Amino acid sequence: AAMVDTTVCSASATVFAADTVTLDVWHQFTDPESAQTQAFEAAVEEYEKEHENIKIELHGLDTESYKTKISTEFASSASGVDVFYYWAPGKLKQLTDADKWILSRVNKLIKDTTNNLEKFNLGIAYDNIVSFAWDEFCDWYVEMVKTRLYDQENETRAAAIWTLKNVMIDILKLLHPFMPFITEEIFCNIQSDEDTIVISAWPEYKEDDVYAKEEHDIEIIKEAVKAIRNIRAEKDVKPSKQVPVYVVTDNDDVVNAFNNGKDFFASLSKASEVTVTGSKENVPADSCSAVIEGAGIYIPLAELVDIKEELERLNKEAGRLSGEIKRCEGMLSNEKFISKAPEAKVNEEKAKLAKYKEMLEKVEAEIKDLSK
């Protein structure tokens, strides 16, 4: 219902002035028998009853088409429709490392897709485009630029908008042979320079858009974000909780990479503050750590969990594992079990015993660290 309400409320005042209005609503619930589809259609029907002058036409999209459309609408709404239509001429001096990274990545995608299509490797070409659109563009770049888009005073905001539009148009053109109708609709809605995507120029690989250093720098930051997310997941930290992060490195290139990307790195890693330092002197001794290329990442353990509660949880887990180990050892020391049980069952219990012992060692090590 909230989705329907948001979609309808986004219509202009002139639309609501009409006697009867028909609105298109795009959704991902393509299975008519699914509970999601039925709930969504029920919400739409209820909305139409409350608003007699509004008729809603539902359009189902497959997963790839839906995500392409939604990511485009995010870019337009987050940056402002009027601004998003603006096409900045030439190279922008405000391009950041994140912008250059995604421009370099889509540039490589253009080259690879063109080569694959010429060789009729259609499946490989399509998979590469979808992987790029979902993973690198939607999951990473869009998240990287959110802080810039929402900050009207940010001097690099225009560069983010320009990059979003350029990359999105390249994605649409590469997808067009596989997904002609949805790409045509989106293309005509996000730009006004060309009437149709059908006769638009195919994207070309450009040597000027190869940014090897920026690609390398952003990949380092991505690895750091993944490492921090793994630590947070292991410690069961609430997604909303922000914690300080220390980056320890004596590599000048890595220092510059994190200084240039500190804002979006902090946002993606849910860091309350990011400290880039050359030594561990100022890093709390009880910090959780992870190693990435050229640097160590540290998060103070006291900021992640309540030490007392964590010790209670770990001691409880140690007790459970000790019980499992005792049970396995009892079964494996029982001659009747060994002689009568299938070999697969015996091997299964041996594997469980090894696993439980390994887990107990890790838990006991954590208890020892926390008890210091």
Mean pLDDT of 313-339: 90
Residue 9 has pLDDT above 70, yes or no: no
Quick check: 144 pLDDT over 80? yes
The residues facing 288 across adjacent strands are 299
Residue 363: HSE in the Cβ half-sphere, 13 Å Cα cutoff: 19
- The yes-or-no verdict on residue 371 having pLDDT over 80 is no
pLDDT band at 104 (very low <50, low <70, confident <90, very high): very high
Mean pLDDT is lowest, of 20-24, 37-41, 260-264, 309-313, for 20-24
pLDDT of res. 283: 87
Instruction: Provide the pLDDT for residue 19.
Output: 52
State yes or no: pLDDT of 88 exceeds 50. no
* pLDDT for the residue 21: 57
More confident residue, 129 or 9: 129
State the pLDDT at residue 263: 86
CB distance 249 to 295 below 8 Å: yes
The mean pLDDT value for 20-40 works out to 62
301 pLDDT tier (thresholds 50, 70, 90)? confident
Predicted confidence at residue 133, as pLDDT, reads 92
* Model confidence band, residue 23 (pLDDT cutoffs 50, 70, 90): low
> What is residue 293's predicted lDDT score, i.e. its pLDDT?
85
Higher pLDDT, 242 or 308: 242
Q: What is the pLDDT of residues 206-221, one digit of tens each?
A: 998 999 999 999 999 9
**Residue 59 near residue 27 (C-beta atoms within 8 A):** yes
> 98-123: b or e for each residue (b if 16 or more CB lie within 10 Å)?
bbbbbbbbbbbbbebbbebbeeeeee
pLDDT at residue 40, as a whole number = 67
Instruction: Specify the amino acid at residue 282.
Output: N
| 225 pLDDT higher than 60 | yes
The answer on pLDDT for 91 being more than 50 is: no
What pTM did the predictor assign?
0.63
Average pLDDT of span 53-73: 58
Average pLDDT over residues 132-140: 92
Q: What is the 3-state secondary structure (H, E, C) of the chain?
A: CHHHHHHHHCCCHHHHCCCCEEEEEEECCCCCCCHHHHHHHHHHHHHHHHCCCEEEEEEECCHHHHHHHHHHHHHHHHHCHHHHCCCCCCCCCCCCHHHHHHHHHHHHHHHHHHHHHHCCCHHHHHHHHHHHHHHHHHHHHHHHHHHHHHCCCCCCHHHHHHHHHHHHHHHHHHHCCCCHHHHHHHHHHHCCCCCCCCCCCCCCCCHHHCCHHHHHHHHHHHHHHHHHHHHHHHCCCCCCCCEEEEEECCCHHHHHHHHHCHHHHHHHCCEEEEEEECCCCCCCCCEEEEEECCEEEEEEHHHHCCHHHHHHHHHHHHHHHHHHHHHHHHHHCCHHHHHHCCHHHHHHHHHHHHHHHHHHHHHHHHHHHHCC
> Sheet of 295-300: strands edge to edge?
271-277, 243-248, 295-300, 287-292
Considering only residues 205 and 60, tell me which one the structure prediction assigns the higher pLDDT: 205
Give residue-wise pLDDT tens across range 261-283: 888 999 999 999 999 988 888 88
Cβ contacts of 237 within 8 Å, gap of 6 or more: 243, 304, 305
Asked if 8 and 47 touch (Cβ cutoff 8 Å), the reply is yes
Q: How far apart are CA 224 and CA 270, in angstroms?
A: 12
- Percent of the chain past pLDDT 90, that is, above it, reads 36
270 Cβ neighbours under 8 A, 6+ residues apart: 228, 232, 239, 240, 241, 242, 243
pLDDT of residue 281: 84
What pLDDT score does 193 carry? 81
Average pLDDT, the chain: 80
* pLDDT value at 90 more than 70: no
191's tokens: 């730009």
The pLDDT, as a whole number, for residue 82 is 37
Measured CA to CA, the distance from residue 86 to residue 357 in angstroms comes to 62
